Chains A and B, each alone.
Chain A
Amino acid sequence: MDSSSLLNQYPITSEVWDEMCAAGQVRAPYNNVYEFLKEISPEDLTRKEEMARRLFMNQGITFTVYSSGEGIEKIFPFDVIPRIITAIEWDFIEKGIKQRLKALNLFLKDVYHQQFILKDGIIPIEMIYSCPHYLREMHELNVPHDVYVHIAGIDIIRDADGQFYVLEDNLRTPSGVSYMLENREITKRIFPDLLPQNYVRTVMQYPQLLYKNLASLSPRHIANPNIVLLTPGIYNSAYFEHTTLARLMGIELVEGRDLVVHNHRVYTKTTGGLQQVDVIYRRVDDEFLDPLVFNPNGLLGVAGLMSAYRKGNVAIVNAPGNGVADDKAIYTFVPAMIRYYLNEEPILKNVPTYQLNNPEERQHVFDNMANMVIKKTNESGGYGMLIGSAATEKEMEDFKAAILNNPREFIAQPIISLSSAPCYLNGRLQPRRIDLRPFALCGPNGIEIVPGGLTRVALREGSLVVNSSQGGGSKDTWILSK
């Protein structure tokens, strides 16, 4: 590609931090990739892009959209140009996430036991009891090693000033890790030799780390505990991820109908009879885990599971009830939790967040609505969101009415200008907004974070929403070792 066209046509502005360029210069970590792009012809790059698409399709790395009675396979759009994070930046992110998770885990243990943090007035008690994801069923239930969040996906963004912020904590069943693994495999194929040249750290160890943690939770002390991955089934949009993880860990992929509870023990139904289950890595939401305790119409879980869990006969990963810690309204209190439980200053900052049940803050938000993002506290996937700068008068009025009706259900944040990274779209480089979701694993011996993550891209021009359900894509994420 001709070098003048490559950068000249790449529009950047000072209001947005671009990961590759600063003031017309390529940032040092991107040098090798930039040189590679300069050398390659647009035809070759398009061919590589096509090759990536075909690899995803034939390997079935797809999600299915159901319409008019038949399933249509779609691939989660993949942009070939990697996103690069330096060793220093990663070190900072890693420390920040570890600190945050440590506090969140302590919070979950506390809120389901003595509730010191509520008694000391750090978090108002009504914030907890009004949270629909707070499960009374978890009260006084002792979980193995006091670990609630075994797998966390912490969403991190970079603002115009180049600083990292935590946008969201995902502590229930965060997804996307299979894309972290598959994107890397595809990159190996389309950019041969570029990975070692750049000292990119590997992400391959993720399944083994996870397996080791799952095995350590087994209530029976036996050599080969029976660990299963519980999926809602092939119609779930993350089904590909479930099969990938089960295969990479060598554990059984089960559906609710494969399991049965007998005498407070969970069993799989096999061709040779019943076999006891020790650990369930579930990708089914809390609400559907056990129809006897939660939603009685749920068919995805197992009747009696919670009683087996309470007896300590089976471990569930992640623990039920974690939603009380990643609720968007509780998010505001995470820095306070870090100070309260760890007596440390938070390393990673929160995005400033307004509580809408506080009249003063609410008025401030209403007065500045055009510069605010309003989110529902219990929605995810980019649903139930209003971006002030792009909203119509009518939409704003509707949101105001909804907020006044139930202020606890909403929070507001100033619009954060997510950083941009180059994407290869329609034959040229174009900046698009990105975020980052690293995956952290907590086991009995502490927290480990695989050096990598899922970089999500808002592929629509000007869009700030990176969720796959809203037209987002992904990139391979390179963490450099030097």
Chain B
Amino acid sequence: MLSRVADSLYWMSRYMERSDSILRMLRINYAYSQDDIPEFTWQAALKIFSFQKDEEISKIERNGREVLHYMVLEKENPNAVFNLITQSRENARSVQDHITKELWQCLNEFYHLMREQRLAASLKTEDPMSVLDGLIKQGMLYYGTVEITMARSEGFYYMNVGKYLERAMQAVNILDVKFSEQDYNLDGTHDPIYWRYLLLSISGYELFLRSYRSTLEPRNIIDQIIWNENFPRSILYAVIRLQRAFEKLDMDPQLESFQKLTFLIGKLKSHVQFSDMQTLETEGLHNYLQNLKNELFHIGTAFNHYYFAYD
């Protein structure tokens, strides 16, 4: 497969995963902001998911509608869903002969939906939750289309590498946002509504109730989001899938590129797998998350260097 094509498939997939995470994050934060929280602020979310300067953030952090506009439609914001979808579709456009026609049409429709005037208006005046739900659904259509139409060949596995790398990164981000609001205190707020929304946003609420029954306690939340292997949005799940997708690429084991990536991914996996609540308490949650972020970043760079570099 052409390096450029692998690169485009990888980024198409990463951007889609990222837009899904951001839409879900916006949805919970917005829902939570409606729950009579007098000092609710979007500061943490904006800090992690946008590249705004602090003074810019402080201008809009208490205005939910403006934040939504900024994160969904603002063309100046590289992480706005609008730009993510546009990028994803541009990538798809340049590799149309490597994805199915259905997948291309699905992304293309999503793109045209994002450009509709109506979307901006309804995000401003109507119920934002329904608008966000509509967009999330469009994203799920993408996942389904990939699942049932794409051949299981090299391109598909590069898409999976991108998807799971991004998902692991976003899981780290979500934990980071939510716990930074609590000063990374593992024994902090027990406000059940706060944690409930977090779990709902990543479709983990039902699983949580089944696994932990009782209280919405921060330690249980962390346990599920980092270590629950059966939870498709946990860090461990994403890392295991990342490793599997990489193995499926079926590269020559003699090559330096293969050995380097095998090492980096294996190291990350054991780092996650062989740590526990105790590790967090000694390292501190913030440091632990920061280390994971760095490792994920290194893996991304290594793919770029060894597999996608064609210039």
Contacts and interface: CB of A to CB of B under 8 A. Distances in A.
Interface in A210-257: 233-234, 239, 243, 246-247, 252-255, 257
A60 interface: yes
A252 B97 CA distance: 8
B1 A271 contact: yes
Given A58-B105, A257-B311, A272 B97 contact: no
A297 interface: no
B269 to A, nearest CB: 22
B254 to A, nearest CB: 12
Contacts of A57: 112
Interface in B1-59: 1-4, 6
Interface stretch (B88-96, B125-133, B235-243): B88-96
B310 interface: yes
Contacts of B108: 58-60
Contacts of B283: none
Contact of B97 (A58, A234, A253): A253
B154 interface: yes
Interface string B103-127: 0110011001000000000000000
Interface in B49-77: 75
Interface string A54-69: 0001111000000000
B307 interface: yes
B96 to A, nearest CB: 4
A258 B95 CA distance: 13
A269 B310 contact: yes
A271 B307 contact: yes
A257 B4 CA distance: 9
B93 A234 contact: yes
A25 B97 CA distance: 47
B97 A270 contact: no
Contacts of B2: 252, 254, 258, 268-271
A180 B288 CA distance: 59
A271 B154 contact: yes
Contacts of B90: 234
Contacts of A247: 96-97
B3 A58 contact: no
A270 B109 CA distance: 30
A246 B97 contact: yes
Contact of B4 (A58, A239, A255): A255
B1 A270 contact: yes
Interface residues of A, number: 23
A257 B112 contact: no
Interface in B270-297: none
Contact of A258 (B96, B154, B251, B310): B310
A271 B3 contact: yes
A233 B158 CA distance: 22
Nearest to B306: A271
- Measured as residues with beta carbon below 8 angstroms from the partner, the interface class of chain B is 20 to 34
A211 to B, nearest CB: 13
Contacts of B97: 243, 246-247, 252-253
A455 B103 CA distance: 30
Contacts of B249: 271
Given A233-B94, A247-B96, A258-B310, A59 B1 contact: no
Contacts of A233: 94
Nearest to A249: B97
Contacts of B105: 58-60
A73 B93 CA distance: 13
Nearest to B154: A271
Contacts of A243: 93, 96-97
B80 to A, nearest CB: 13
A57 B93 CA distance: 13
Contacts of B251: 271-272
Contacts of B93: 60, 234, 239, 243
Contacts of A255: 4
B310 A257 contact: yes
A59 B108 CA distance: 7
B309 to A, nearest CB: 9
B310 to A, nearest CB: 5
Contacts of B6: 271
A83 B258 CA distance: 57
A255 B97 CA distance: 13
Contacts of B95: 253
Nearest to B90: A234
Interface string A91-133: 0000000000000000000000000000000000000000000
A1 B135 CA distance: 41
Contacts of A70: 75
Interface string A250-283: 0011110110000000001111100000000000
B31 to A, nearest CB: 32
Interface string B220-232: 0000000000000
Interface in A169-199: none
A199 to B, nearest CB: 29
A258 B7 CA distance: 12
A181 to B, nearest CB: 14
Contacts of A270: 1-3
Nearest to B108: A60
A271 to B, nearest CB: 5
Contacts of B104: 59-60
B19 to A, nearest CB: 18
Interface in A267-324: 268-272
A255 B101 CA distance: 21
A256 B105 CA distance: 27
Given A58-B108, A60-B104, A60-B108, A272 B1 contact: yes
A234 B94 contact: yes
Contacts of B311: 257
Nearest to A255: B4
B96 A269 contact: no
Q: Name which of A60, A252, A254 has the most chain B CB atoms within 10 A of its CB.
A: A60
A253 B1 CA distance: 11
Residue in A58, A258, A269, A270 whose Cβ sees the most chain B Cβ within 10 Å: A270
Ranked nearest first, the 5 interchain pairs of A and B with the lowest CB-CB distance are A243-B96, A247-B97, A246-B97, A60-B108, A269-B310
Interface of B: 1-4, 6, 75, 90, 93-97, 101, 104-105, 108-109, 112, 154, 158, 249, 251-252, 307, 310-311
Given A233-B94, A255-B4, A270-B3, 8 more contacts: A59-B104, A60-B96, A60-B105, A234-B90, A234-B94, A252-B2, A268-B2, A272-B1
Interface of A: 57-60, 70, 73, 233-234, 239, 243, 246-247, 252-255, 257-258, 268-272
18 contacts: A57-B112, A58-B105, A58-B109, A58-B112, A60-B93, A60-B108, A234-B93, A252-B2, A252-B97, A253-B95, A253-B97, A254-B2, A257-B4, A257-B310, A269-B3, A271-B2, A272-B251, A272-B252
